[in-house]
Structures are given as C-alpha cells and as structure tokens.
Amino acid sequence: MTQLKTCCASIARSGFGTLQLPEAMLQDYKQIVDGYSAISHATKASFSFSQDTDGFFPFGAEYSSVEEHPDLCERFCYWPAHASKRKGFEFTRSDFFAAVEIFERQVSELAQELMDGICSEFGVSPLAPFRSASYVQLCVYRAQNASIERRFAQDPHEDGHMLSLIKPSREGLVLVRGRSLEPVRLLENEIAVLAGSLLTELSDHAIPAAYHAVLAPQKPVDRSSLIYFVNPNPEQMLTSFFRRQRIDLSRSVNARHTGFGNQPIQLL
C-alpha cells in the first residue's frame, strides 16, 4: 500500500493522517517560513486585503472559538483566485511570494490526489478541481507572545474546510480526544492532514472532523505553521457519500469561514 493510500485510509477512518513531502516542497516551505521575518511592516500593511482574506493580517485578527480569545499569531494568506488582482504590487515579485506561489501549486495537486483517494475509499466519484476555492495560510507565533497566560495559542476547534494540510515548524499541534491532548509528532519531511467539518458533512458523518488546537509554549519560542485549506469547487453540485443526496456546501463554507472572524468568501 502506497503512503498516499495509507493516508487516505487513515483519514477515512479517523479524520487524521500524515504524508511525506517531496524535497522540492520542503525547500519552498523552509523559504517561506524563514523568509517571513524579513518582510517589513510597511509591506504587510500595504499588502492586506481583508475583504478577500488575502495578504497579511496582524496579530489577533482571527479566532478559533471566541472572538475575545484570538489566536496568538499573525497571518499571511494566499488565494490563487485573487492572484491576478495583485500583479501591480512590488511584493508579488519577491522571493517569498514566488515560494508561496510554487508551494501552493504543488500542495494543491497533492490535496487533489488525497481527495481522489478518500473518494475512492468510499466508492464515490472524484471531486471537481477545487484549487480556485482553496488557499494557503501561514500562521506566525512570535516568541514575545508566549508570555500571554493562556493554555492554548489557538483554542480547540475543527476546521471549516474539507481538508487542512498542516506543516508546523515545531511542536505544539495537538489532537483533542475528549479530555486528552494527543501531540502531533511529525518527521522533518512529513505534513499532517486533518479532516474538516465540510468533509464530515459530505461523508454523511462517516469521517470525523479532527478536533485540534495549538498549545501555548512553556518558554518563549518562535513557531510557524504553513497550512493549505481545501474548500469544494462552488460550481460543483456534490452528492453525499452514503445517502447519495445532493448537498450544497456553499452556505456551510461561508458560515465556517466567517465564524473564524473572516469576511465572506467572494470568488469571481
């Protein structure tokens, strides 16, 4: 059994799996994580588009469950659907942005293969390409924010997507199993794959959403997490895995997206 098939079977069964990344993707990942600190505040302020959840967002702009309890990170989001609108910005010609573009193309192909494999596990047809509705997000947790007295840097939650592919730079990601916290330990070349609430809905609740959180560090350290959020193609009418009923996830997509403090998704 290939590692991709093993990962798909694990997600179908438990909502969680891991997958090895090729070296080229790892190099792009490292360039993104390492390059963030060199980006100026002025660039971040000018390249921020809240209406699209695109570009840079300051510390505390998103929350996982309670608005008054924001995630202890700043963010950079990249949607390929909005890329054509950003071509006039000098930042789009930076090495950092180029690495994000390359990584997004590669991870979108990987995610499509994963969804195809998950559909195969249930004997249903593959989903239409979803790259235009999905996006990359870099979360950056600064060492100075470790002094904030909280148990979690990101509160327990399930992601409002079909899949989340998560590559953290250090420990902190945990699966929440009832009252237990199960640390996600990855090899240097591995990425975690978590089922989200949309996949639970699409699978008629056969696939559990991976309830997870990020622990606040016990000592001041920087931490980053590069994530790919998979949303369904809004133009595809989906059919649920078991009941074989038509299901429109577009309302669920936006309800979950705005539930984290974001503006409604508007894709042209």
Each of the 268 residues of the chain gets a pLDDT tens digit; together they read: 699 999 999 999 999 999 999 999 999 999 999 999 999 999 999 999 999 999 999 998 999 878 888 999 999 999 999 999 999 999 999 999 999 999 999 999 999 999 999 999 999 999 999 999 999 999 999 987 666 788 999 999 999 999 999 999 999 999 999 999 999 999 999 999 999 999 999 999 999 999 999 999 988 899 999 999 999 999 999 999 999 999 989 888 999 999 999 998 987 4
SS3 content of the chain, % helix, strand, coil (to 5): 35, 25, 40
pLDDT reported for residue 220:
87
Domain boundaries, the chain: 3-258
pLDDT reported for residue 266:
82
Identity of the amino acid at 253: V
d(CA 119, CA 8): 9
pLDDT reported for residue 147:
62
* E-strand stretches of the chain: 16-20, 48-49, 54-57, 74-78, 135-141, 152-157, 163-168, 173-177, 180-183, 190-195, 212-215, 223-230, 238-239, 246-247
Name the packing angle between helices 95-121 and 23-35 (round to 10°): 130
Contact 192, 18 (CB under 8 A): yes
CATH tag, 3-258: 2.60.120.330
pLDDT reported for residue 105:
98
Phi, psi of 204 (to 5 degrees): 55, 40
pLDDT reported for residue 149:
80
pLDDT reported for residue 245:
93
pTM of the model: 0.96
Contact 139, 71 (CB under 8 A): yes
